[in-house]
């Protein structure tokens, strides 16, 4: 016999870090999305970590951290700099919110 609590479904937000209760959820999600874009570009180039380190201007151990999404040692700004080093533009758009409540940060990738 199943307990009704076992069947309860909780609808999450669009931010897994917020769902997990992280106070810096927006920053974590932003960093993750930026790092994903960087890692996808690096994967497409099919280059070694040593070459990546030289291209991005970071030591090889930080390349490993980036590829494994250990992002505590990278700022949002630094991740955006990586994207520009990989020949991509980064645009920041600020616009009024059309609904009530706190605004949000989104990272959208155009391929």
Domain boundaries along the sequence of the chain: 22-90+102-111
Please name the residues in contact with 67: beta carbons below 8 A apart, sequence gap of 6 or more. Answer: 39, 42, 49
> Residues 83, 37: contact at Cβ < 8 Å?
yes
By C-alpha distance, which of 110, 88, 109 is closest to 36? 109
Query: Do 13 and 19 contact (CB within 8 A), yes or no?
Result: yes
pTM of whole model > 0.85?
no
Name the fold adopted by 22-90+102-111.
434 Repressor (Amino-terminal Domain) (1.10.260)
Cα–Cα distance measured from residue 74 to residue 71, given in angstroms and rounded to the nearest whole number? 5
Per-residue pLDDT of the chain (111 residues), as tens digits, is 455 566 787 777 777 777 777 787 788 889 999 999 999 999 999 999 999 999 999 999 999 999 999 999 999 999 999 999 999 999 888 888 888 877 777 777 776
């Amino acid at each position: 016999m199943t307990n009704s609590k076992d069947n309860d479904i909780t609808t999450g937000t669009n931010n897994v870090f917020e769902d997990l209760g992280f106070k810096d959820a927006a920053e974590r999600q932003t960093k993750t999305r930026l790092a994903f874009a960087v890692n996808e570009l690096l994967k497409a180039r099919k280059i070694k970590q040593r070459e990546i380190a030289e291209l991005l201007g970071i030591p090889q151990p930080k390349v490993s951290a980036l590829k494994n999404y250990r992002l505590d040692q990278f700022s949002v700004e630094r991740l955006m700099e990586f994207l520009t080093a990989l020949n991509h533009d980064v645009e920041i758009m600020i616009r009024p919110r059309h609904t009530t409540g706190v605004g949000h940060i989104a990272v959208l990738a155009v391929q």
